[in-house]
Structure formats: C-alpha cells, structure tokens
Amino acid sequence: MEFITHAIFKWLHIIAGITWIGLLYFFNWINGHVAATLDADSKKKIIPELLPRALYFFRWGAAWTWITGLILLQVVFYHGGLTFEDPDLSGFGTGALVMIAVTFLGVFLYDILYKSSLASNVRVVTMVSFVLIGVVVYLMKDWAGFSYRSFNIHIGTMFGTIMAFNVWFRIWPAQQSIITSIKNGEAPDGDLLALAGLRSKHNTYMSVPLIWTMINQHTTHFSGGNLGIPSDYSWLVLLVVVALGWHIVWQLYKKSGQVKGF
C-alpha cells in the first residue's frame, strides 16, 4: 500500500510541478518581454484574457505540488525511515524538530527579510540569504542528524514552501489588482508590479536548486566517500548547487532579453 501511495503521489507531484514551473518560466522569460511590446489597447484586450487563465493553472499547480510534496515527505522520509543519517534513530529529537519547524516557518523570515530596507541592496541581501541557507543546511546535517537525502529534500521543501507562499499571498493578489487596472484602462499600481515581479523572480531563482533536491536520490554519490568528498562536507555540495542554480537562472534571464520575435 505504501509503495502504491508513493508511486501515485510522485506521479501527481511531477505533473503539478511541471505545470507550475513551466508557467513560472513562461511568465519570467517570455510573457514579460512580449507584454512590453504591446500598446495600451492591445494590453487591455489581451492581458485580461491571457493572464487569468495562465495564473489559474500557475497557482493551482503550486498548491498541488506543495500538497503532494508534503505527502511524499511523510511517506518516504518520516514513515520510510530515511530522515536520519543513523538508521537506528527512530525518534525525532530537539534538533530534528527545530529544523523541521525551520523548513516550514522559514518562509516568514524570508518575507520579513525581503520587506526590510536591506532588500534594496540586491548584492547584500543575496549574500545574507545564501549564508542563512548555508547555516540551515549545516544544522540539518550536523545538529539534527539528517541524512544526505534528507537535508536535500528539507531544503527543497523550504524553497517550495516559500515559492508557494509567494504565489498565493504575494503574486496572485498583486496580479488580480494589476489585471483589473489594465482591463479598466488604468495604470497599474507600481508597487504591486514591483512586488509581483520580484517575488516571481525569486521563485525562478529558487526553482533550479529545488529541482536538484527533488531528484536527490539520484545524486547520492555526492553524499560522501565518493568523488573524494568527505562525508562531513557533503552539505557543501548542496550550497554549490544553489549557487550554480542561481547563476544558471541569471544567464537565462540575460538570454531571454536577447530572443526576439519575427
């Protein structure tokens, strides 16, 4: 029965994730550039028809990716015994419970950080974010005792929780107001445009490392003992993937601005 649950929800998780992340890339690398070429009348006709449809699948893709991910986390890790490095550990100690709480509540620290004055300095706030991620990964491994696969998937869950929060509580409410303004022939609120664009960009940057964590059962040769990587430093591999993923997204943003229509 557990095997069937795992198979079905992994299938649903991937379908929902493809829908969500595919539309995320469409919004960030295609739609924005196309919308910039439209005149006011064209925007008034096209955007109220296009975006509500796209945002429907976008936000529900996000919701179902998150929900099915939670079910898989329970089935594969908490119930399946893959949470801890030591296979003899069956209970959750203080460290594990705290880091699980960080996994799901870290979104509120993220939201506070990016509402603060520090967020105006992109370089500094990015460095702060990266250091915080490093601290969390390290504590998951060395304090909570999470296994390689476990601290990978918990960081992925933290990213996914932040991304789903952005979709439902930052991007979607802002877009409702923006679309209504465009439909009425009014100028959208600049602050809402900036908020929706920034949080969508954050989601794009988090998505590439997130996908790594989703397939981390296939990356266990980085967990230590192989490729000359000591197991005590296997947590650094994930930080390299985060940094590399962010760089890949940055390059794709640059490329998206160079692609032209006919």
**Residue 186 CA: distances (Å) to CA of 37, 179, 190, 233:** 18, 10, 12, 54
Question: Mean of the pLDDT values across residues 60-89?
Answer: 92
Angstrom distance (rounded) from CA 55 to CA 27: 10
CA 235/CA 230 separation, integer angstroms: 10
pLDDT for position 233: 83
Structural tokens at position 125: 């706030």
Question: CA-to-CA distance for 255 and 5, rounded, in angstroms?
Answer: 40
Reported for 176-185, long-range contacts at CB under 8 A and 24+ positions apart, including other chains, are: 179/47, 179/48, 179/51, 179/52, 182/43, 182/44, 182/47, 182/48, 183/44, 183/47, 183/48, 185/40, 185/44
- pLDDT bucket at 207, cuts 50 / 70 / 90: very high
- Would you say residue 205 has pLDDT above 90? yes
Q: Which residues contact 128 (CB under 8 A, 6 or more apart)?
A: 113, 118
Q: Whose CA is closest to 161, among 127, 96, 206?
A: 206
What was the pLDDT predicted at 251? 98
Residue type, 181: S
The DSSP call for residue 189 is P
Is residue 225 over pLDDT 90? Answer: no
Is 207:199 a contact under the CB 8 Å cutoff?
no
Q: What is the pLDDT of residue 226?
A: 61
What span, in angstroms and rounded, lies between the C-alpha atoms of 83 and 95? 12
Across 188-193, average pLDDT: 97
The predicted-structure confidence for 13-64, as pLDDT tens digits, reads as follows: 999 999 999 999 999 999 999 999 999 999 999 999 999 999 999 999 999 9
